[in-house]
Structure 1
Amino acid sequence: MAHSDKTLDLITLGRSSVDLYGQQSGGRLEDTASFAKYVGGSPTNTAVGGARLGLRTGLVTRVGTDHMGRFLKEQLEREGVDTRGVVFDPDRLTALVILGLRDRENFPLIFYRENCADMALTRDDLDRAWIQSAGAVLINGTHLSQPNVYAASVAAATWAREAGGKVLFDIDYRPVLWGLTGRDMGENRFVADPAVTERLQQVLPLCDLIVGTEEEIHILGGSTDTIAALRAIRARSDALLVCKRGALGCAAFEGAIPDRLDDGISGRSFRIEVFNVLGAGDAFMAGFARGWLRGETIADCCTFGNACGAIVVSRHGCAPAMPSWTELEAFLARDAYPLRLRDDTALEQIHWATTRRRAYPSLTVIAVDHRSQFEELAEELGVDTERVGRFKGFALAALDRVAQGDPGFGLLVDGRYGFDTLAAAADHPYWIGRPIERPKSRPLAFEGSADVATELAEWPVDHVVKCLVFYHPDDTQEMRDRQERQLLRLFDACRKTRHELLVEVIVPPDMPVDAMTVARAIRRLYAIGIHPDWWKLEPVDDPAAWRNIEAAIAENDPLCRGVVLLGLSTPMPQLIASFDAAAAVGVVKGFAVGRTIFYDVAREWMRGAISDADAVDALAERFSLLVEAWRKARAGVGKTA
């Protein structure tokens, strides 16, 4: 059904907000202590959901010229949503919604939308040519509640039809947003009101697809009898009508409305424990649209929508819970699922790995996360450790000089001495890694709070958690058990706090190593349930060792981001020579090297032999040499192939 001459599949129009989701469930919103920040707003969620399913989506909305508005735009761009229709409003704030998980049936909502940015959207904000570049436009009921947003919605729908596009209508009825309930009743889904019905029905002649819950069908049709309401809608529109029925799936109607909902077209439905019903309808719309705009049968469209809704009701959040196409295919390929779907570790791993923030075809990192080495150097030279923090700032300056804004570069730095550098790095587009382990600990111990999840909850979500473990697959049972318990705690904490994890494996120097040692260690960690986003490994010259490592990762986690090489103070010429063997291994994405780059420079600067500028120059020169050597090694592999 999508048009081959269209550059986008779907543009959604309407509300866009920041959702602040209560992180405690089973209690009153009054007793919720902390909140997670997500993208929100029905059409915005659907744009994200559609993009994850492979549709080329765009969004038309307004956001405030504030931190929350910038967060929405940045996150949408990470999701692959075209944001040229997102207008920054200097006079209004971005809308907020506070959401709670009271029990399995009650999900309190407070909408902070007084004179909010998205409700100030006007027809003048729309780019007609861009709207007409899409195969379809989605409008929703909330943005029919005020004259200016009504006019914008109708204009977008009219222009889309003029260009041969389709119009999707998500009824999206929230009585509180029409002023029909108290502000503390945001979760109320139905209040009968003839004026609302009349307003919603005005857009029916423009629509090709209309989707709503039974309650939303009631308000659109003007009757609490669902069949009667559907027939009232059918009298005003030839659109495909889809009634969402929760756990029963949905019923779709192409022509005349039968006497029973069960006589409509339906796909597979899925019995899943409801953890959070919010966002399920937006996920349904994304799934149904994915099928409908790609010419699938209506039954298959229903199945896609039902499956997406089922997946989202099992999770925390709306937009972040939306499945990817890879995930949806994996879900539909199976016949059995746990009722508590979020306990399905295989599906959760696919979800995590296919919805991460950014792709990294390559990654080259300057590592200054060392703590004990800097402390020892400061003690040796008799200088204050305050100088350590200053020096780490030079590493960021050197990185920026070499990277020139390329997000395929990164910085690995600690919070103990490098906190100011971490804060400064937030203003750059680079990958940021941060260590969690206590230096030189074996068995593994963590810095900071005794509860690693509590520690990570204080870290920005874009900080990748780096953990070095001195690990050998032939460790004693006691040593292995203690270290693996720590790694499992860390992995669980990372997932719950939404941080990526880099596991650095170094074989203890007093233990034997062969071509299988590191691969065996990797397989063991996968076997106990740890799936790092990244591995950081020692460079080796043995091609057989690299083949074994690559096979271990490919067999256990084909979606792993890859491997970066560590340096271990290896002299520059020797480290560069090791790149040739590693560059031929597809899973190796680059390096994260520290002492080879910084140690001599740090010594000279800390003893006052070179200036600040000299230190930055030297760090940049050394880092650049490694970057160019890595690129040359990679290019050489390509020429050989």
Structure 2
Amino acid sequence: MFYRENCADMALRAEDIDEQQIASSKALLITGTHFSTDQVFKASSQALDYAEKHDVKRVLDIDYRPVLWGLAAKADGETRFVADQKVSQHVQRILPRFELIVGTEEEFQIAGGSTDLLTALRTVRELTAATLVVKLGPQGCTVIHGAIPARLEDGAIYPGVRVEVLNVLGAGDAFMSGFLSGWLKDASDERCCQLANACGGLVVSRHARAPAMPTPAELDYLFSSPHPITRPDQDVVLQRLHQVSVPRKLWRQLFIFAFDHRGQLVELAQQAGRDLSSISQLKQLFVQAVERVEAGLRQRGIEADVGLLADQRFGQDSLNAATGRGWWVARPVEVQGSRPLAFEHGRSIGSNLLAWPQEQIIKCLVQYHPDDEPMLRLEQEAQIKALYDASKVSGHELLLEIIPPKDHPSSHPDVMVRSLKRLYNLGIYPAWWKIEAQSAQVWQQLDELIQQRDPYCRGVVLLGLNAPVEDLAAGFAEARHSRVCQGFAVGRTIFREPSRAWMAGEIDDAALVSRVQSTFNWLIESWRESRA
């Protein structure tokens, strides 16, 4: 089945084409489909006029689909070729206007009006001096600059990537993107075809179309592999590169208010005789404080980002209010205080993530020590690995908060470095780490470890553990030279006393917001002073 009617691109009119946009481009790529109706033919022709006027390279992807030319039924969408002289003549009208023409064997046959490929190519060559790129399926492709050879084999055949095909949709778009990425940089035919074939091969090996397009990092890995990768969908490194090497939001220094606490706030509410619904009201006031802090940073021209940590149980309204405004937003999944680690919504953590907005980050606190009793350590590691695997499927970033148990007999300063190294050895690569304050020496070790093991790591944020503000400031100073420490995520130090007073009725909403804002700002200034 191939249904494509009344779609936006086919509704383009000539007056919709922006001359300045085309003039600012290196190349204009048009598909044959966008010449298949009178209206879109005029729009595409207008675009070509502008491209010629401004010396923009012009590229045609023949992209012949009989069903879109009315030559096959919608249920016959897989049919790749139906000979039709009218279509051939129509396509031939536009061939002289392009500098690069790309197509499969069947597409060049329709363009040349012959079921014999070489005859069709010679007809095309009579009409245009463009470079011709002929896609040959699993064999790869060939590039023809001048006269058509007696046999395609007389020219260079650039081999394709041998993979198990899972889905053919998107292969042509991927091939074209790969070829153009080299062609627009004046790369050799061999390099252009290597990129094109690899892009096409990776896309057909995945169950997706546009989201399956590879990144340069994936291609570099594929090309450097000492052995063929016939199942890219099962290659762990490729899977990870596909997620982390895409363009992502760039965060500046991060100032995060962490109020995903549940048990501590329940205790405060009960001590004050307040209904638990008051916790949700409290957390909505926290959002107001973050808003004010952000406004103050913007007013002062400080380059930084704000964020919050809030839970689903009492902070759903806060999460809703924070999402979609460019803040760093994370929410917890762990049962608070659990050791071994347990998840709030049961073992099927992945099913819970399906309902999360994509921008929200998974936060998981683990009381972990690499010298834990083996059965406990293995159970916790299995839970962390399950969460990491679920995050890869859902596409959410993962933050692991690692806190060594306070009652553990081993408290060597290198415990954090060893903990991260152990989790990396297990194939767990969270986007973020959240850890306690460390010495400058340990920060240097963490910098080296993360750079070596995971250069795509987004960074580390410092937690507070209800420490006095002076202690937190000292921790900020120790981390001032760290390359991976991006900021802080502090909670009780900011909210505990104002929340107690608010729950007890000693202060009103405005005073609560003001006090929270004041302490939050104090920590921000301490952070900035440590880096001055």
Q: TM-score range by the shorter chain?
A: over 0.9
For residues 163-174 of structure 1, the aligned pairs below 5 Å read 163-174=54-65
Q: Within 2, Cα distance between the matches of 1:116 and 1:127?
A: 20
Q: Within 1, Cα distance between the matches of 2:496 and 2:90?
A: 70
Residue equivalent to 1:468: 365
Q: Classify 1:627/1:199 alpha carbon distance in 2 versus 1 (closer, same or farther; 3 Å).
A: farther
Residue equivalent to 1:37: none
Q: Within 2, Cα distance between the matches of 1:484 and 1:371?
A: 24
For residues 74-153 of structure 1, the aligned pairs below 5 Å read 110-111=2-3, 113-153=4-44
Provide Cα deviations, 1:468-499, integer angstroms capped at 9, x if missing partner: 11110101110111011111111111111111
Residue equivalent to 1:316: 207
Q: Classify 1:434/1:191 alpha carbon distance in 2 versus 1 (closer, same or farther; 3 Å).
A: farther
Instruction: Tell me the secondary structure at the aligned position of residue 610 of structure 1.
Output: coil
Q: Which amino acid aligns with 2:105?
A: E
Residue equivalent to 1:372: 263
Q: Classify 1:394/1:300 alpha carbon distance in 2 versus 1 (closer, same or farther; 3 Å).
A: same
Instruction: Tell me the secondary structure at the aligned position of residue 410 of structure 1.
Output: strand
Q: Classify 1:432/1:173 alpha carbon distance in 2 versus 1 (closer, same or farther; 3 Å).
A: farther
Aligned: 1:251 with 2:118: no
Given that residues 569 and 595 in structure 1 are in contact (C-alpha distance below 8 angstroms), is that contact kept between their aligned partners in structure 2? yes
Q: Within 1, Cα distance between the matches of 2:312 and 2:150?
A: 65
Q: Which runs of 5+ in 2 are unaligned?
A: none
Q: Within 2, Cα distance between the matches of 1:526 and 1:432?
A: 24
Given that residues 222 and 229 in structure 2 are in contact (C-alpha distance below 8 angstroms), is that contact kept between their aligned partners in structure 1? no
Tell me how far 1:620 sits from its aligned partner.
2.2
Q: Which amino acid aligns with 1:595?
A: R
Deviates more, 1:331-340 or 1:521-530: 331-340
Provide Cα deviations, 1:518-549, integer angstroms capped at 9, x if missing partner: 01110110101101011111112x11211222
Given that residues 491 and 501 in structure 1 are in contact (C-alpha distance below 8 angstroms), is that contact kept between their aligned partners in structure 2? yes
Q: Within 1, Cα distance between the matches of 2:519 and 2:79?
A: 62
Quick one: which of 501, 507, 510 aligns to 2:404?
Answer: 507
Q: Within 2, Cα distance between the matches of 1:624 and 1:110?
A: 57
Quick one: which of 502, 507, 515 aligns to 1:610?
Answer: 507
Q: Classify 1:148/1:538 alpha carbon distance in 2 versus 1 (closer, same or farther; 3 Å).
A: same
Q: What TM-score do the two structures reach when normalised by structure 2? A: 0.94
Q: Classify 1:504/1:187 alpha carbon distance in 2 versus 1 (closer, same or farther; 3 Å).
A: farther
Q: Classify 1:374/1:179 alpha carbon distance in 2 versus 1 (closer, same or farther; 3 Å).
A: farther
Q: Classify 1:633/1:337 alpha carbon distance in 2 versus 1 (closer, same or farther; 3 Å).
A: farther
Q: Which amino acid aligns with 1:523?
A: K
Aligned: 1:236 with 2:236: no
Given that residues 323 and 360 in structure 2 are in contact (C-alpha distance below 8 angstroms), is that contact kept between their aligned partners in structure 1? no
Given that residues 308 and 322 in structure 1 are in contact (C-alpha distance below 8 angstroms), is that contact kept between their aligned partners in structure 2? yes
Instruction: Tell me the secondary structure at the aligned position of residue 442 of structure 1.
Output: coil
Q: Classify 1:260/1:612 alpha carbon distance in 2 versus 1 (closer, same or farther; 3 Å).
A: farther
Superposition RMSD in Å? 1.9
Q: Within 1, Cα distance between the matches of 2:23 and 2:306?
A: 38
Q: Which amino acid aligns with 1:453?
A: G
Q: Which amino acid aligns with 2:402?
A: V
Q: Within 2, Cα distance between the matches of 1:393 and 1:177?
A: 53
Tell me how far 1:356 sits from its aligned partner.
5.0
Given that residues 100 and 130 in structure 2 are in contact (C-alpha distance below 8 angstroms), is that contact kept between their aligned partners in structure 1? yes
Aligned: 1:458 with 2:355: yes
For residues 318-397 of structure 1, the aligned pairs below 5 Å read 318-397=209-288
Tell me how far 1:367 sits from its aligned partner.
1.1
Deviates more, 1:529-538 or 1:173-182: 173-182
Quick one: which of 497, 504, 519 aligns to 2:394?
Answer: 497
Q: Within 2, Cα distance between the matches of 1:225 and 1:600?
A: 83
Instruction: Tell me the secondary structure at the aligned position of residue 418 of structure 1.
Output: helix
Quick one: which of 398, 416, 419 aligns to 1:521?
Answer: 419
Q: Which amino acid aligns with 1:452?
A: I
Instruction: Tell me the secondary structure at the aligned position of residue 222 of structure 2.
Output: helix
Q: Within 1, Cα distance between the matches of 2:289 and 2:15?
A: 45
Q: Classify 1:450/1:287 alpha carbon distance in 2 versus 1 (closer, same or farther; 3 Å).
A: same
Given that residues 243 and 395 in structure 2 are in contact (C-alpha distance below 8 angstroms), is that contact kept between their aligned partners in structure 1? no
Q: Within 1, Cα distance between the matches of 2:309 and 2:70?
A: 51
Q: Classify 1:293/1:377 alpha carbon distance in 2 versus 1 (closer, same or farther; 3 Å).
A: same
Residue equivalent to 2:453: 556
Residue equivalent to 2:107: 216
Instruction: Tell me the secondary structure at the aligned position of residue 505 of structure 1.
Output: strand
Given that residues 266 and 299 in structure 1 are in contact (C-alpha distance below 8 angstroms), is that contact kept between their aligned partners in structure 2? no
Given that residues 399 and 431 in structure 2 are in contact (C-alpha distance below 8 angstroms), is that contact kept between their aligned partners in structure 1? yes
Provide Cα deviations, 1:550-571, integer angstroms capped at 9, x if missing partner: 2221111111111111111111
Provide Cα deviations, 1:317-368, integer angstroms capped at 9, x if missing partner: 2222222222222221223133211222222222221115312243221111
Q: Classify 1:222/1:391 alpha carbon distance in 2 versus 1 (closer, same or farther; 3 Å).
A: farther
Q: Within 2, Cα distance between the matches of 1:380 and 1:224?
A: 85
Aligned: 1:569 with 2:470: no
Residue equivalent to 2:428: 530
Aligned: 1:189 with 2:80: yes
Q: Within 1, Cα distance between the matches of 2:68 and 2:289?
A: 51
Deviates more, 1:524-533 or 1:266-275: 266-275
Tell me how far 1:268 sits from its aligned partner.
4.4
Given that residues 160 and 166 in structure 1 are in contact (C-alpha distance below 8 angstroms), is that contact kept between their aligned partners in structure 2? yes
Instruction: Tell me the secondary structure at the aligned position of residue 251 of structure 1.
Output: strand
**Greater strand share, structure number:** 1
Aligned: 1:261 with 2:152: yes
Q: What TM-score do the two structures reach when normalised by structure 1? A: 0.79
Instruction: Tell me the secondary structure at the aligned position of residue 310 of structure 1.
Output: helix
For residues 54-69 of structure 1, the aligned pairs below 5 Å read none
Q: Within 1, Cα distance between the matches of 2:205 and 2:252?
A: 32
Residue equivalent to 1:86: none
Q: Within 1, Cα distance between the matches of 2:397 and 2:294?
A: 22
Q: Within 1, Cα distance between the matches of 2:501 and 2:137?
A: 67
Instruction: Tell me the secondary structure at the aligned position of residue 138 of structure 2.
Output: helix
Q: Classify 1:592/1:199 alpha carbon distance in 2 versus 1 (closer, same or farther; 3 Å).
A: farther
Q: Which runs of 5+ in 1 are unaligned?
A: 1-108, 637-641
Quick one: which of 448, 463, 475 aligns to 2:345?
Answer: 448
- Percent identity over the alignment? 45
Return the index of the structure with the highest Cα Rg.
Answer: 2
Q: Classify 1:262/1:631 alpha carbon distance in 2 versus 1 (closer, same or farther; 3 Å).
A: farther
Tell me how far 1:609 sits from its aligned partner.
2.1
Residue equivalent to 2:45: 154
Q: Which amino acid aligns with 2:525?
A: E
Q: Classify 1:633/1:218 alpha carbon distance in 2 versus 1 (closer, same or farther; 3 Å).
A: farther
Given that residues 240 and 254 in structure 1 are in contact (C-alpha distance below 8 angstroms), is that contact kept between their aligned partners in structure 2? yes
Tell me how far 1:127 sits from its aligned partner.
2.1
Provide Cα deviations, 1:217-244, integer angstroms capped at 9, x if missing partner: 2222222322222222212111111112
Q: Classify 1:123/1:513 alpha carbon distance in 2 versus 1 (closer, same or farther; 3 Å).
A: farther
